[in-house]
Structure 1
């Protein structure tokens, strides 16, 4: 039976999935790569590590007894967003890639805001933030002028991998929107933004749809990994857009809750003219011609990972999360705000830091674990409130990532958000989304909706407990007060630390 491969290029590892025409995942493979943090706030990777790891993951996939790579007809991508890969005339990286979670560009964000103001949001539907690609380009322009002058083109991470696999350069609209250089109305690189910041139009790669076939595999690459050179390669998309498709979130009354390193609350946008005035991200979708919006918690899974590494290094995540059952809703009066690396939605504050509020001597470790889980989920309610304030209503939320593995956490999500929460049998969201792009691109399905009916299957549903909804609503009001009360203190602490 014919199959497709979904390549999910994440922040810490690449995952590859082999999926057949029925939507069954036949085999998976994964290879990790290092993160470079040469200075505080810097987050970089060597793009060659991605190439080596993608090759290794596909080779490992092919060694699985259930995998027959000779049957692969198509391949596509999901990729970490916003990262800057600056290429020389020889189309090789001039410097390490600057990643989405790099925060060195505050001065460049201020430059964008002061220079273009509201006009910038009118063009891009987004406000400038440190994570986006344009501020990174401006940082290189200012601090590494020799690299900027030598650059022929920039790409985003998955686009560089696709280029190395095919020899064809391009960027799909979902990732192009995340550069905040795209004119959302005209679906082209914005001449106004490029001219304002002296960025040559030639640096910007050709724009493609996620489902466009860019060609077939480079014969040398195909031979190296054991794939047929006839495999068709499709554009692919930003990881959050792919995660939404892979979870079947294709209607405006659905939400996607994704808990990875960061946390995402995302929905399909019914109207291409929608604007949230920069309060939420508004991007092109991998569904051609469509859009999605989302809010982001910068340290969702990262908060739990930090807690585990610091206080329970020898305990696995499942056991740690399950221990929160020994506490109760509200964690016995303990609140946690997950601002370990700043926050994006709704505050866009790089200097805010996390807090435990309400510590007393009767609390146990279980209370602290539950407070972290609840704090992450309260941050999702902050994003939900932005949607609700704009008049949006939702029937359900589909959850993927770390939070979807625990029945306890799923019920906490239902009670804090007051929504029906749905978990899936296949929790490979972005990777499945990438596979679905290839399946639709090959013509196996007429639409993503038709593909989702075959590829996406619900596992369990969690409904809100009215008593706990009321209790959590009281706690949420207190949680919401923590940010304005603590930001002057944490900003002062950072300033003192830096002085």
Structure 2
């Protein structure tokens, strides 16, 4: 019998990661292509979107040196959210893509809030608007580059552009569309009334298909370039957070996700049709059909740890850097860290606040600082989990992925602060694995997402909270939450001296 495989590709901020997965869910090959983003001005983050396309082609070429084209059943994508790619009527890119971490749009954010009002925005999209989202980027182009705006035929998200280049077809799907803040999460349609209020032509929005929907096959130009005679089917894919959740076994509300990378995410399925978002948390569509999730984000999670590593021991890797972390104690001998290096998303939506160490004294050690940073990052995610619990979502079994899942002490800190059981994947591959699952579902390898979840995903033994630690962290979390109100006006005043 001929062996068959699917490919999952994750289009990240700094690299495209590809994995090849067999029918048993084993990752048999992986490949990565790195690239750089451009920062032409302070706060700007851009890239030529063809860099993503060429990275995808390079990965395909590599994979096809390992496997026959007839062995590849399908290909799907995970992609960084909120980016803006615009093309003209001829399909040519008009300007570099504006990325999720671009912060140039503060004026547009305020104009959106003033023009349509927060209540209308929440009613139309179920979300508030922030600088990183797609809608203010589109309005920035309209306000600052009208010559480019007038050429727009379609806008796309990053992964959707790569799918378009591979197949010639323009689509998006609910999980990425939700992050544009132009999409109604509940009806899964473009927010036409909102777009009309902002004088945006709805026809520039791509058509919506399911995340595992068939997008098309590789164009004849690409099959010729790859020197293959058989074709490979492409399925649309999903937003990176949704694919990360899918690839971690989050297909219902029995488990929640905590992902600690550069930023930090807490995510839980929320299918209550009566749920009304107040704007303090994100409410998006999952890449699993008919499912939605709420998500909180801390902007400087692993970024905070990297910042401290660069200050204290830049030659150390993270394993070495965190050696002997248990020589410090819960609370870092009276030290609290707030991870607001880049401002904060959930629950404050505050771009101006900055981080702080509270409680430094002459006896503070570098290990205390390291422990306080780990705890502060985790407290920040606890802010999001608290919102979930206040919305009657039970958060008892958490799957931890990313850098926060690679250190046993940090996993115990998560269990203690979250007061929940923490488990990890036996083979974590991040959002690329979720993309591979979407390709497998598109190819109809499995009857349901529950079935593929059971077949492909296994977990390590869970870590339980330690009662004495949990009690101490409950007290420390109250102190942590008080720091924002105390320091926000101070850090705002200090900004004039930068």
Answer whether TM exceeds 0.5 for this pair. Answer: yes
Q: Does 1:203 align with 2:204?
A: yes
The 5 Å alignment of 1:52-63 reads 52-63=54-65
Q: Which sits farther off after the overlay, 215-224 or 363-372?
A: 215-224
Tell me the CA shift for residue 272 of structure 1. 3.6
Tell me the CA shift for residue 80 of structure 1. 0.2
Tell me the CA shift for residue 62 of structure 1. 4.2
Q: Which residue of 1 aligns with 2:114?
A: 114
- Asked if the contact 1:6–1:75 (Cα under 8 Å) also holds between the matched residues in 2, the reply is yes
- Asked if the contact 1:267–1:292 (Cα under 8 Å) also holds between the matched residues in 2, the reply is yes
Tell me the CA shift for residue 89 of structure 1. 2.1
The 5 Å alignment of 1:94-243 reads 94-117=94-117, 118-225=119-226, 229-243=230-244
Tell me the CA shift for residue 228 of structure 1. 6.4
Kindly provide the CA deviation profile for residues 144-187 of structure 1, in whole angstroms up to 9, marking residues without a partner as x.
11110111111000000111111111111111111011123432
Give the TM-score, by structure 2 length.
Answer: 0.96
Q: Which residue of 1 aligns with 2:481?
A: 480
Q: Which residue of 1 aligns with 2:7?
A: 5
Tell me the CA shift for residue 59 of structure 1. 2.9
Find the partner of 1:48 among 36, 47, 50. 50
Tell me the CA shift for residue 68 of structure 1. 5.2
CA distance in 1, matches of 2:363, 2:425: 37
Q: Which residue of 2 aligns with 1:450?
A: 451
- Asked if the contact 1:29–1:58 (Cα under 8 Å) also holds between the matched residues in 2, the reply is no
C-alpha RMSD of the superposition: 1.5
- Asked if the contact 2:163–2:215 (Cα under 8 Å) also holds between the matched residues in 1, the reply is no
SS in 1 for 2:460: strand
Q: Which residue of 2 aligns with 1:259?
A: 260
SS in 2 for 1:461: coil
SS in 1 for 2:322: helix
SS in 1 for 2:461: strand
Cα distance change, pair 488–26 in 1 and its aligned pair in 2 (3 A):
same
Kindly provide the CA deviation profile for residues 174-205 of structure 1, in whole angstroms up to 9, marking residues without a partner as x.
11111011123432212211111111122111
CA distance in 1, matches of 2:243, 2:41: 31
CA distance in 2, matches of 1:278, 1:349: 13
SS in 1 for 2:259: strand
- Asked if the contact 1:411–1:464 (Cα under 8 Å) also holds between the matched residues in 2, the reply is yes
Tell me the CA shift for residue 462 of structure 1. 0.5
Tell me the CA shift for residue 63 of structure 1. 4.5
Cα distance change, pair 355–441 in 1 and its aligned pair in 2 (3 A):
same
Kindly provide the CA deviation profile for residues 336-367 of structure 1, in whole angstroms up to 9, marking residues without a partner as x.
11111111100000111111111112122111
Aligned pairs, how many? 495
Q: Which sits farther off after the overlay, 346-355 or 282-291?
A: 282-291
Q: Does 1:35 align with 2:43?
A: no
Cα distance change, pair 281–225 in 1 and its aligned pair in 2 (3 A):
farther
Kindly provide the CA deviation profile for residues 266-325 of structure 1, in whole angstroms up to 9, marking residues without a partner as x.
011122442222121111111112211101111111111222223221111122133422
Q: Which sits farther off after the overlay, 123-132 or 310-319?
A: 310-319
Tell me the CA shift for residue 395 of structure 1. 2.3
- Asked if the contact 1:69–1:226 (Cα under 8 Å) also holds between the matched residues in 2, the reply is no
Cα distance change, pair 49–468 in 1 and its aligned pair in 2 (3 A):
same
Q: Which residue of 2 aligns with 1:83?
A: 83
Tell me the CA shift for residue 53 of structure 1. 1.7
Kindly provide the CA deviation profile for residues 41-75 of structure 1, in whole angstroms up to 9, marking residues without a partner as x.
211122121122222233334455xx555411011
